[in-house]
Every structure is written in structure tokens, then in C-alpha cells.
Amino acid sequence: MLTVNQRSYRAPKQPTVVVCVDGCEPDYLAQAVATGHMPWLKRTLAEGTGIVADCVVPTFTNPNNLSIVTGAPPSVHGICGNYLYDTASGTEVMMNDPKWLRAPSLLAALADGGHQVAVVTAKDKLRRLLGHGMQGTCFSSEKADQATQQEHGITGVPELVGMPVPDVYSAALSEFVFAAGVQLMKKHRPDVMYLSTTDYVQHKHAPGTEGANAFYAMMDRYLGQLDALGCVIAVTADHGMNAKVGMDGQPDVIYLQDWFDRAIGPGKARVILPITDPYVVHHGALGSYATVYLPAGTPTAQFVSQLQHLRGMEVVLDREAAARRFELPPDRIGDLVCVSERFTVIGTSRERHDLSGLDAPLRSHGGISEQKVPLIVNRRIPGLDPQRRWRNFDAFDLALNHAQ
């Protein structure tokens, strides 16, 4: 038995694969299964275990991937966005650096316990966080050809996978993750593998559409291969995905920095969009979650009440209430947390968002409306309580403690 972040895990008896499908709103699976695109998943849901679980708010990639591999919410692991206002330095910084991590991962603990561990991510931004402190194989599709034995525990990845390194904006970037997973399992048979894709397809294609169904059919084939190799497989997601447009087809945006600039003067408040990262072409840095830093000593109650009534706003909480409700580290979320509704996103200032890269109606995430995610295991688990609140970060618990 291993104990990590106050949760205990059994050692794997069979090769165990946890898959985080980026942006996998459960309806993607529903529509693909209903129309015959996912025969493996259809059988797995009938014979195994399928739960709709809650992910972590903010419903972004990094906080949720870290929750899955630590088995804990951001209040424990510290990663509450891709992007942070560092009050110590007074600058806005990426949270890619492992220095922001406050908890060890189960992956590192398993490797320390003598288990062979492999991690494949689509984008390189996640790799360093996921692989922090871990002995084993850890590389990204994005930089698969740059993997070295010393840093990534592997070389010659494109040759192993039999695919060229895909473009960072492509469905193939995720396919490479699955293909690599299957080849690693065939040739190295790791004890534990974590695969994490990118939501390029989900940002462009709605559930049930041709583009989405093709992606999920591809995923189904690879998962079927892993299953045939005898793996215990748990599939979950970092967050869902929704259309974020008004009736005119344009992004429906609350420009929150503009709102504060009008309310208390230009630049007095600082609105942070933790969805921001170097890859914003497909969503223009627009998501349904923002944090706000107010001038020191500003009372928050009045803003909470005013913002709460803005059209398209779902909930506005002060630091303490947000930290409690969403299990976030209070020192990293500013004075206010704002969450917009299903069809609405939050921006900073109108002129700071470049939407010229959007070649399809905006789809994005970040809010409570993207909190439902799949939690699927290819084993029947008797006695699961369907009424309790399951989380995506229960995936390793189900896979290691209940499925084998």
C-alpha cells in the first residue's frame, strides 16, 4: 500500500492506464456511442463502470490534470490555473513551473515504490508538472522527437510510435498520445501509464458532429487495443466544453477589466484569466472563469453583488467563499472569483483579445457548466455508491483499489 496526499492506493496487479481526455464533455461519448462510433466504449459501459463525475473548478487543463495525478483538489496541490498573478513579484506568470506544486504526485510515489511508470501528454506545457519528481518515462507528443534518456527516460519516440511529430494544433497531437500509449504497453509494458490528450478537436467540434465522432472513433480503437493487452483502464477528463456564443454566432463576452476600469478607474483592479497560456489561437484566451485582484483594502461585498447581476454571470464569490466552494488555494485566487454561464465567457479588455484565429464558433470551458466529466473503468466495480459525488481525481483510486 502507498499513501499519497492522505489517500491509500494498492500496487497494480495488472498494467493500469488512466486516460485524461481533454475537454471530454460526456455528451461527446453519448452521441458517439449512440451512433455506433465507439463499439469498445459501448461494451465497456455495459460490462464495466460508467459514472458522470465532477471535475475541479476552474475547469481548466492544468488544475485538473494535477488533481488526477495527486488524487486531491487544488487546495492541496496548488495548481489553480495555467496562469497566475504572482503578488510577490507583481507580475503575471505561467504556472507551468513545478515550483508552484505543493503536493507530490501518485505517479512519483509509484515510481519510488519500484513500479514502472510512463506518462504521455499532448502538449509539452503539462509534461514538467506531471513528471515532477518522477523516475520513469515522461514525454509529450509536441516534442516527441526531442525526448532524451536523461530527461524523458526514453529516446526515439517517433520511431517507436511510427508516426511523425504532429502539429501542435491538430487532432493528430492527441492520436499520437494514444498510439504512443499502445506501443509503450506492447513493448515496455509499464505498470502504470497516464495519458493526457489536448482539446483541439473539442474546441472546434460539438458532440455528435462528424469532426467529434471521428476523434472518438479513433480513441475507441486505441482503448480497445489497450484493453486487449490486459490493461485496467480508467477514462476521465479534465473538463467539459460548451459553445460560448451569442445568437449572432460571435463570442458572448463579459469584458471584466473594462467593467472594473469604468467602475473604479483604469488599471485599479487586475483581472486575471487563468485559461491564458501560449496556445490561445483556438479560444482567444476566453473561458468562463476569472479572478480579480483589487486595490489593497477594497471591500468586496459591493462588487460581488453588482457582478452577480451581470447578464451571463453565473456566480461571483470572494476569496474565502471561492476557496471553500471550489477547494482552491486562497493565496492564489485573488480577491474575487467570477464564473460565467454556459454560453458566456469572461475577457479582460475588449482590445486585448485577438479573436482573428477563431475559424469556428467559439467553444470553451472554465465554468461550472463544464464540470461534468466521464469516469469510466473497464471493470465492473460492485458496490459503488451511485449517489455520492464522484470526482475525476478518484480515477486512480477506482483503477488501483477497486478494479483489480
The contact set with its own copies (CB under 8 A) reads 26-27, 29-35, 41-42, 45-46, 50, 52, 206-209, 243, 245-250, 309-311, 343, 360-361, 372, 374, 376, 386-387
Tell the smallest beta-carbon distance from residue 370 to its own copies (Å): 12
CA distances from 115 to 70, 154, 183, 189, 289 (A): 17, 16, 18, 11, 38
Tell the smallest beta-carbon distance from residue 281 to its own copies (Å): 17
Tell the smallest beta-carbon distance from residue 378 to its own copies (Å): 13
* Helix, strand counts (H, E) of the chain: 15, 19
Residue 243 burial by Cβ neighbours in a 10 Å radius (0-12, 13-18, 19+)? middle
Residue closer to its own copies by CB (options 382, 386) is 386
Residue closer to its own copies by CB (options 141, 242) is 242
Residue closer to its own copies by CB (options 41, 185) is 41
| Residue 127 C-beta-side C-alpha neighbours within 13 Å | 22
CA pair distance 403, 116, nearest whole angstrom: 19
Residue 255, Cβ neighbours under 10 Å: how many? 19
Tell the smallest beta-carbon distance from residue 234 to its own copies (Å): 14
Tell the smallest beta-carbon distance from residue 219 to its own copies (Å): 13
What is the DSSP track for 240-286? --EE-B-TTSSB-EEEHHHHHHHHH-TTSSEEE-TT--S--TTTTT-
Residue 381, Cβ neighbours under 10 Å: how many? 14
Q: How many residues does the chain have?
A: 404
CA pair distance 87, 75, nearest whole angstrom: 18
User: Residue 7 belongs to what H/E stretch?
Assistant: strand 7-9
Residue closer to its own copies by CB (options 176, 303) is 303
C-alpha cell at 161: 510510435
Residue closer to its own copies by CB (options 208, 329) is 208
Which of 235, 9, 242, 247 lies closest to 110, judged by CA? 9
Tell the smallest beta-carbon distance from residue 194 to its own copies (Å): 21
Q: Cis check for the bond before 266: say yes or no (omega within 30 of 0).
A: no
C-alpha cell at 388: 455520492
Tell the smallest beta-carbon distance from residue 28 to its own copies (Å): 9
Residue closer to its own copies by CB (options 54, 145) is 54
Write the DSSP symbol of residue 398.
Answer: I
C-alpha cell at 274: 487563468
Tell the smallest beta-carbon distance from residue 207 to its own copies (Å): 7
Residue closer to its own copies by CB (options 37, 332) is 37
Q: Which residues are registered as beta bridge partners of 235?
A: 19, 376
Residue closer to its own copies by CB (options 246, 329) is 246
Residue closer to its own copies by CB (options 35, 305) is 35
Site of grid cell 475541479:
56
Tell the smallest beta-carbon distance from residue 206 to its own copies (Å): 5
